[in-house]
Every structure is written in structure tokens, then in C-alpha cells.
């Protein structure tokens, strides 16, 4: 799917840059930031469809960022990414409205499919809202 706008939030700079490059090659419009504050600022400035969010980050933790995103931008779908297996954090995230929870290292194809599925969900929701009006 072309043109899906994706924001990546991860403090591991190398990982972030590699992933941005690969996702760009797949036709996604990607942008990367290193922490939660930057993420929220960027979301206010530009439109995005999907956010890929690293859960374990110093400073504002991933769950906090997720909470803020869902409060301020409820239509944006968030995919949580992490190197740690933690059932509680995963479920908490999904209860807060995350679209899914993936563990690193993940298959790049799998990630792209998730982004597409999340985008589709967003589109369908939007259509539904339009109808109601």
C-alpha cells in the first residue's frame, strides 16, 4: 500500500535508521523520532496514520506515550515494538488501545502487513464516522 504515513519512535538510533530505510523502500512515508516528547510534538505538526512505538524507552516510557497519543489523536493506530517479552506491558498496551504488540527482532514483512492492517482499520473507522454525520 502506497503512501501510508508512519511515525517511528525508538531510542536505539541504529535500529531506527535501518528500519526507516527499509520501510521507505516498501513505499511507506516514514519519519523517525528518538523519544516520546518529540513524537507528540511531531504528531501535532504533521498528519500520520500509524505510529510504531518502542515500549522500553528512557524518560517518557512507551506506555505513557501511547496513552497520550490515544487521548490526543484517537484515530491514529499504534503498533508497539519491543525487545522485551513482558505479558503485562503488552496487554496493558492493548487495553489502552494499541493495535498490536510485536517483539524485536521482527520480520520486516510482518511489520509492513501490520501497518497495512492498522491503516485499513483506520480507513474503515473514518468511513463509518463519515456516514454517521
Partner 1 sequence: MLLNALKKLKGLFSSKSNKEEQHDPREIEELRLAFQIKYHHFKLLLNANNKALELMTQIEEYLKGHKFFGMTLIRSIVTQIATNVFQMINNLNQIAPQKYVLLYDKFKEIQATLNDLLSSQSLPSQGPLVISLKEVTKDHVDITGSKMAHLGALSNIEGINVPDGFVITSYAYKLFFEFNELHEEIPRRLQKANISDLNSLLELSSELQQLIIKAAVPPEVADAIQREVRSLAQKNMEVSLRLAVRSSAIGEDTGEASFAGQYRSELNVAPDNILDAYKSVVASKYSLTAMTYRYHHGIKDEEVDMCVGVIRMLDAMSSGVMYTSEPLGGNGDLLLINATFGLPKAIVDGSVNPDVFKVSKSRPPKLIEKHITQKTVMYTCLEEEGVCRTELVEEQTLNPSLSDQEVEELAELGLKIEEYFGTPQDIEWLKDKKGQLWILQSRPLKLISHKSQRDLKVLEGKKVLLKEGVTASPGMASGPVFIVRQDADALRFKEGSILVIQQALPRWAPLLSRAKGVIAELGSITGHLANVAREFRVPSIFGATGATSILKEGLEVTLYADLCAVVEGIEEGILPEVDSPKIMKGTSVYQTLERASLLIVPLTLLDPDSPSFHPKNVKTLHDITRFCHEKAVKELFEFGKSHKFPERSSKQLLCESPMQFWVINLDDGFSVESPGPYIHIQDIRSIPMKALWEGMVKVPWKGPPPLSTKGFMSILLEATQNPDLEAGMNSSFAVKNYFMISKNYCSLQSRFGFHFSIVETLLGERQQENYISFQFKGGAANLSRRVLRAQMLSLVLQDLNFRTEVREDALFARIEGFEMGYMEERLRALGYLIIHTRQVDMVMEGPRQVRTYREKFKKELKEHFGIEFYNGTGGH
| 17, 24, 74, 113: which one binds partner 1 (CB under 8 A) | 113
Taking the complex as a whole, how short is the minimal distance between the CB of residue 31 and partner 1, in angstroms? 25
Compute φ and ψ for 51, nearest 5 degrees.
-115, 130
Q: What are the CA-CA distances from residue 131 to residues 107, 124, 128 (Å)? A: 37, 11, 5
Q: How far apart are CA 109 and CA 55, in angstroms?
A: 20
Residues 78-107 contacting partner 1, CB under 8 A: 83-88, 90-91, 94, 100-101, 103, 105, 107
* Cα distance between residue 65 and residue 39, in whole Å: 8
Which CB, 25 or 128, lies closer to partner 1? Answer: 128
Binding site for partner 1 (CB under 8 A): 83-88, 90-91, 94, 100-101, 103, 105, 107, 109-110, 113, 117, 120-121, 124-125, 127-128, 131
Amino acid at each position: 500500500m502506497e503512501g501510508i504515513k508512519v511515525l517511528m519512535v525508538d531510542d536505539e538510533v541504529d535500529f531506527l535508521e535501518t528500519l526507516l530505510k527499509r520501510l521507505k523502500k516498501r513505499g511507506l512515508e516514514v519519519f523517525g523520532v528518538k523519544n516520546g516528547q518529540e513524537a507528540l510534538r511531531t504528531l501535532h505538526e504533521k498528519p500520520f496514520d500509524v505510529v510504531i512505538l518502542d515500549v522500553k524507552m528512557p524518560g517518557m516510557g512507551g506506555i505513557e506515550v501511547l496513552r497520550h497519543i490515544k487521548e490526543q489523536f484517537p484515530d491514529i493506530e499504534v503498533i508497539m515494538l519491543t525487545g522485551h517479552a513482558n505479558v503485562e506491558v503488552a496487554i496493558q498496551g492493548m487495553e489502552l488501545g494499541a493495535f498490536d504488540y510485536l517483539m524485536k527482532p521482527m520480520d520486516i514483512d510482518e511489520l509492513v502487513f501490520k501497518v497495512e492492517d492498522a491503516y485499513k482499520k483506520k480507513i474503515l473507522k473514518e468511513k463509518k464516522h463519515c456516514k454517521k454525520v
